[in-house]
Amino acid sequence: MRLLVLGGIRSGKSEVAEALVAGAGAVRYVATARERTSDGGWAARIAAHRQRRPQSWVTEEVGDSPDRLAELLTGAKSEDTILVDDLGNWLSAVHDTAGDWSDPTAADEPIAALAGAVRSCGAGLLVLVGPEVGLGVLPATDAGRTFADASGLLNQRVAAACDGVALVVAGEVSWLRGGELVQHAGARETPKPQEPAAKPVEPFVFESTGAGSVLSTADGGDTLSFSPGMELPLPDESTAHEAAERLLTLRLNGAGLGGLVPVVRFAGGVQGRPDPRPFQQPRVLVLRGDRTGGFAAGDSAEAADRRLAEVVEGNGTLAMLAAGAGASVQAIDCPSAGPAEVHDALDDTGVDAALTLGWRLADAAANEGVDLLVLGACGAGADAAAAAIVAVLTGAEPAALLGRVVDSSGFVDDAAWMRKIGAIRDARHRIRTRSREPHVMLSMLGGGDIAVATGVVLGAASRRLPLLVDGPVAIAAALVARDYGAQTRHWLMMPDHGDNPTVKLAADVLGAAPFLALRLGLGEGATALAALPLINTALTIAAATPLRSAMTGDETGDETGDEAGDEAGDGAAGDGLSEQERIEAEIQRVVADSPTAEMPYVKPSWED
């Protein structure tokens, strides 16, 4: 796979490129800059790049011999991961070597050779960094114009040879092409090839051995700032109301959509249209973050491993439902949390990084065209952590929030339930004098999965991306996210609370009433996927069913309906009619238009 990352000076392009290869064990870093011993500032830049590279990377410098770059790419093997940083320095070295900055065509042949080498490169992953210089004014010098023209040509030729092209502006990544190949460019994950079209579930796992690599961000470790009082957008309430009112005008044969009316209203608001469409590109984020201590009583990391493996391999209930709903799946392996009854689950740095990762997951999903997110989790002790957060934020008794513990063999483990309750109460006692500010809550009790989920909720709201919340982790994250920005709850919809007491209470506090009452308990994320086809059915009916005419009951949108009705006198007959009279007139019209209206009466045999 070949990827090109473009950006301006200090845009963060190098950090994004490094994030794309960070999951590989060994990386060949090709440095193209020439040494300038007399330029202290330039030497400092090179030193900063060297210091940022992991010790396991192998650096090859081609600044003094720019022709070597094409040779390195042509000779790459399938197991190689290569990062070239950057093409601008390589182009400068080409002109310096030629000794002529006045000829705008001097680099044409080297550019063609390099583009051919990129196209034929056999490396498993090749990432090239290049400067985008075509957005400013035309340089005032001949050398500057030569470089700008040649750089534009170079970017075009290399982009044409690559599978994906990204543009980085102010640290934010926009994939111009091929973003689906890497799923997300901002979380230091290992890019995976795109799955065949025949396989609807495309899992992606953040592989790591520790919190640092999982929660590293795309800009070299810098994190976003999260604090209460965030200003986030709201859905279009007027359009939501219009979508609900529009249902009353549909030409339906029955009484209407009933309990699915809130679904259409919600979709109208988040999509900003009175006739919302079915969700076409849903994505499921499955968060796995284990805990130790009493919170994890009755659970096991092995069971969480098995459930995560089912997601990745396309097996199990969630993968089956995702395939049926046409949803892509991302599995995020979050860091483990310590015993919250003894000490905080995460430190402040870990919370910041987890929130940033969640925000960028939502941001990347929006950039890739995802129109609905589903939050799920499968970590050991996640239910207890969610119950602890809800208990602290609502003042509820933990014993009333935590459902019965069912072990991996399917048996109820009451002893484990008592250990969980004891751990939650000990944790509440430990933090009794501390702040209930959301950042502190995530640090004290949340753990990696709930903190990432909170960042997802915030990031989704910022990008106007709706979410289906399903299960204790998602609803606990939504409750914490509300304290960062109250607007977040308006982007959430809950299909079914699954009769889980933690979910029921938190949903009631958030005002996220479920539109189903089936008590589905299929696992976090799976219930939402089971309800998704029903959601899309309601939206299809709402969008595709013709409207009644206010005058005659003819379908709105018929180009001749109103005019024909007026000519026949039907339009005038509707003036001043009551609702009951209008309905009776409609029934009579339908009967009159029926193909059986003129059929003779046939006496049934039983009347003989």
The rounded distance, in Å, linking the Cα atoms of 523 and 529 is: 10
> What are the counts of helices (DSSP H) followed by strands (DSSP E) for the chain?
23, 14
pLDDT for the residue numbered 589: 59
Strands 164-169 and 172-177, sheet pairing? antiparallel
Q: What is the per-residue pLDDT across 554-563, written as a single tens digit (0 to 9) for each? A: 444 444 444 4
The rounded distance, in Å, linking the Cα atoms of 413 and 548 is: 57
189/222: higher pLDDT: 222
Q: What percent of the chain has pLDDT over 70?
A: 77
Under DSSP, the state recorded for 443 is I
pLDDT for the residue numbered 193: 35
- Residue 176 in 3-state DSSP? strand
Query: Lowest mean pLDDT: which of 34-43, 157-166, 345-354, 444-453?
Result: 34-43
Residue 372 has pLDDT above 50, yes or no: yes
- Residue 364 in 3-state DSSP? helix
Query: Lowest mean pLDDT: which of 38-42, 254-258, 262-266?
Result: 38-42
How many degrees, rounded to 5, is the angle at CA 537 between CA 534 and CA 540? 155
Long-range Cβ contact pairs of 258-262 (< 8 A, separation 24 or more): 259/515, 259/516, 260/515, 260/534, 260/535, 260/538, 262/513, 262/515
- Helical packing angle, 261-271 and 237-247, nearest 10°: 140
Tokens linked to 368: 């890739």
pLDDT for the residue numbered 412: 78
pLDDT for the residue numbered 164: 86
Residue 497 has pLDDT above 70, yes or no: yes
Q: How many CA atoms does the CB half-sphere of 310 hold within 13 Å? A: 18
pLDDT for the residue numbered 516: 78
- Residue 236 in 3-state DSSP? coil
pLDDT for the residue numbered 571: 43
Is residue 354 within 8 Å of 337, Cβ to Cβ? no
Q: What is the per-residue pLDDT across 228-247, written as a single tens digit (0 to 9) for each? A: 888 889 999 999 999 888 88
Residues with Cβ within 8 Å of 373's Cβ and at least 6 positions away in sequence, in order, are 282, 283, 284, 285, 362, 365, 456, 460, 465, 466, 467, 468
pLDDT for the residue numbered 219: 34
Q: How many CA atoms does the CB half-sphere of 76 hold within 13 Å? A: 30
Q: What is the per-residue pLDDT across 174-218, written as a single tens digit (0 to 9) for each? A: 888 877 676 543 333 333 333 333 333 333 333 332 322 223 333
Model confidence at 572, pLDDT cuts 50, 70, 90, reads very low
Q: What is the per-residue pLDDT across 69-127, written as a single tens digit (0 to 9) for each? A: 999 998 888 888 999 988 988 888 888 887 777 777 788 888 888 988 998 888 888 99
pLDDT for the residue numbered 119: 87
Q: What is the per-residue pLDDT across 263-321, written as a single tens digit (0 to 9) for each? A: 999 999 999 988 899 998 899 898 888 888 888 787 766 777 777 777 767 677 777 78
313/13: higher pLDDT: 13
Quick one: how far is CA 278 from the chain centroid? 18
Residue 574 has pLDDT above 90, yes or no: no
361/568: higher pLDDT: 361
Strands 555-556 and 2-7, sheet pairing? unpaired
Active site residues: 524
Write a three-state SS string for 402-441: CCCCECCCCCECHHHHHHHHHHHHHHHHHCCCCCCCHHHH
Under DSSP, the state recorded for 330 is E
Q: What is the per-residue pLDDT across 434-467, written as a single tens digit (0 to 9) for each? A: 888 898 889 888 888 899 999 999 999 999 999 9
pLDDT for the residue numbered 433: 83
Question: Residue 553: which region, alpha, beta or left (left: phi > 0; alpha: psi -120 to 50)?
Answer: left
- The dihedrals phi and psi of 369, each to the nearest 5 degrees, come to 90, 5
| Average pLDDT score, the chain | 77
The rounded distance, in Å, linking the Cα atoms of 488 and 467 is: 10
Nearest to 361 by CA among 392, 323, 334, 391: 334
- Omega cis (within 30) before 163: no
Q: What is the per-residue pLDDT across 474-488, written as a single tens digit (0 to 9) for each? A: 899 999 999 999 899
Single-letter amino acid, residue 170: A
DSSP symbols for 583-603: HHHHHHHHHHHSTTTTPPP--
pLDDT for the residue numbered 581: 60
The rounded distance, in Å, linking the Cα atoms of 218 and 184 is: 10
pLDDT for the residue numbered 206: 33
Q: Which domains does the chain have, with CATH numbers?
A: 2-196 (3.40.50.300), 237-390+438-542 (3.40.50.10210), 549-599 (no CATH)
Say how many residues make up the chain.
Answer: 608
Query: Lowest mean pLDDT: which of 168-177, 190-199, 569-578?
Result: 190-199
Model confidence at 257, pLDDT cuts 50, 70, 90, reads confident
Task: Give the burial class of 302: count Cβ atoms within 10 A of its Cβ; 0-12 exposed, 13-18 middle, 19 or more buried.
Answer: exposed
pLDDT for the residue numbered 407: 67
- Residue 490 in 3-state DSSP? helix
Query: Lowest mean pLDDT: which of 57-71, 133-147, 276-290?
Result: 133-147
- The dihedrals phi and psi of 42, each to the nearest 5 degrees, come to -65, -40
